[in-house]
Amino acid sequence: MLSAVERKIEQFIDDLNDKEVSGLYTKLPHGKRLRAKLILKIAGSSLAAVKTAAIVEMIHAASLLHDDVIDDAYTRRSKPSLNALYGNKTAIMLGDILYSKGFLELNNISAEVAKIISNAVVQLSLGELKDVSLSKTFNLDKEIYLKMIYQKTASLMEASAGAAALLAGKDKTSYMTYGRNLGIAFQMIDDLLDITADAATLGKPALHDFVEGKTTLPYIYLYEVLDASGQNKLKSLHAKVLLKEEQKWILEQMRMHQIIEKSFFEARELIEEAIEVMTHHGEEALTSIAMQMIDRKF
Ligand code: FPP
Ligand code: MG
């Protein structure tokens, strides 16, 4: 089923009739195509579902191209990022081409599907801007963090599930809840992996988020349990290149206070809730995609 989506994306790119863009596209690692899987599992593999899945994956790829420029990330999925290979200008423009072609194709699906997806892309962009502005502060507000990851990551999964439900004539609201929970859990785990996985697995240096100024859920929880001197120390290390012993101190504090377990538990609860909603709709097949969100390498 997924190969039909890959072929559709290639066809959309071929339509552009531009050798440079076709060549650049081959340099993009594909990733897990989670959003496409979600759409096909909910809507089946009708032409409209395959096209919607291809469009969503193109928009997602565009957002990551821009995100790597914004984050100064030189690796993506353990390979050199496009900005590392060809510079920021090329990465930004390929992103613009992918998402505008995606929007052009979205017009051919249905007005309702176009609305749900384009609204999510607005949210995605608002979320990314919030991520950037929050990283200039030492944010300790969990609600603000949750809203930002909802916008940045969960909105497109929520919309993917909602659009797929619309295509299949299913109840949009429950599927959107499922997609939203999956998206929030996915980003929580992504943020955890930044702390737990080693540089080789992650394709970027560990604790990169904190160095970049991002106080993700584990840092918010850690701050809550530290004493005043620990809190001051954590704050003093925020948004700085960390020495080996400073990295070690953070990891040790996280271990002592079982912060990773606490954060993981929260992601797992969201996944369990998502599975419950779908089981209620007789959609047991959607359990395995939900499990994939939390079943990632630690
Ligand atoms: C990854 O976050 C970033 C996103 C999921 C969204 C990025 C959105 C934009 C750049 C808005 C622009 C949108 C378009 C369509 C061009 P992360 O940095 O936490 O995750 P990472 O570890 O995968 O880099
Ligand atoms: Mg990033």
DSSP at 28: S
- How far apart CA 251 and CA 33 sit, in angstroms, is 31
Check which CATH number belongs to the domain holding 83 and give it. Answer: 1.10.600.10
Q: Return the structure tokens found at 157.
A: 């999964």
Provide Rg for the chain, Cα atoms.
19
Domains: count for the chain: 2
191 and 283 belong to one structural domain: yes
Average pLDDT, the chain: 95
Residue 31 lies in a domain: yes
Domain extent at residue 167: 141-298
- Identify the pLDDT of residue 293: 81
Given pLDDT bands bounded at 50, 70 and 90, which one contains residue 297?
low
Residue 121 lies in a domain: no
- How far apart CA 124 and CA 136 sit, in angstroms, is 19
Q: Which helix (H) or strand (E) holds 76?
A: strand 75-76
Distance 92 CA to ligand 2 centre (A): 14
Tell which residue, 136, 140, 157, 91, has the closest CA to residue 289.
157
Question: Which residue, judged by its Cα, is nearest atom 16 of ligand 1?
Answer: 63
Query: Of all atoms in ligand 1, which is nearest to the CA of residue 70?
Result: 10
170 and 71 belong to one structural domain: no
98 and 189 belong to one structural domain: no
273 and 185 belong to one structural domain: yes
Report the residue among 32, 64, 201 best suited for mutation to probe ligand 1: largest number of ligand atoms under 8 A from its CB: 64
75 and 146 belong to one structural domain: no
- Identify the pLDDT of residue 173: 96
Report the residue among 28, 59, 63, 134 best suited for mutation to probe ligand 1: largest number of ligand atoms under 8 A from its CB: 63
Residue 132 lies in a domain: no
- Identify the pLDDT of residue 200: 60
> Quick one: CA dihedral 132, 135, 140, 142, positive or negative?
positive
172 and 234 belong to one structural domain: yes
Question: Which residue, judged by its Cα, is nearest atom 7 of ligand 1?
Answer: 63
Residue 131 lies in a domain: no
Question: Which residue, judged by its Cα, is nearest atom 15 of ligand 1?
Answer: 63
105 and 156 belong to one structural domain: no
Distance 54 CA to ligand 1 centre (A): 18
Distance 209 CA to ligand 1 centre (A): 13
- Identify the pLDDT of residue 31: 87
Domain end marker among 52, 85, 109: 109
Ligand 1 in reach of 105 Cβ (< 6 A): no
152 and 297 belong to one structural domain: yes
CA distances from 87 to 18, 69, 82, 97, 254 (A): 19, 9, 7, 16, 36
Residue 128 lies in a domain: no
Query: Of all atoms in ligand 1, which is nearest to the CA of residue 209?
Result: 19
Tell which residue, 268, 80, 65, 72, has the closest CA to residue 184.
268
167 and 237 belong to one structural domain: yes
Low-confidence winner among 41-55, 65-79, 91-105, 135-149 (lowest mean pLDDT): 65-79
Ligand 1 in reach of 95 Cβ (< 6 A): yes
Ligand 1 in reach of 57 Cβ (< 6 A): no
Residue 262 lies in a domain: yes
Phi then psi for residue 243, to 5 deg, are -75, 160
164 and 44 belong to one structural domain: no
Residue 116 lies in a domain: no
The identity of residue 85, as a single letter, is L
Residue 44 neighbours by CB under 8 Å, 6+ apart: 168
Query: Of all atoms in ligand 1, which is nearest to the CA of residue 194?
Result: 22
Low-confidence winner among 36-45, 47-56, 177-186, 283-292 (lowest mean pLDDT): 283-292
Q: Which ligand has the minimum distance to the alpha carbon of residue 190?
A: 1
Tell which residue, 182, 117, 187, 179, has the closest CA to residue 146.
187
pLDDT in tens, 199-231: 666 555 679 999 999 999 999 999 999 999 999
Query: Of all atoms in ligand 1, which is nearest to the CA of residue 214?
Result: 19
154 and 101 belong to one structural domain: no
Low-confidence winner among 45-49, 252-256, 279-283 (lowest mean pLDDT): 279-283
72 and 202 belong to one structural domain: no
Query: Of all atoms in ligand 1, which is nearest to the CA of residue 190?
Result: 22
Residue 96 lies in a domain: yes
- Identify the pLDDT of residue 206: 76
Mean pLDDT of 136-163: 98
Ligand 1 in reach of 75 Cβ (< 6 A): no
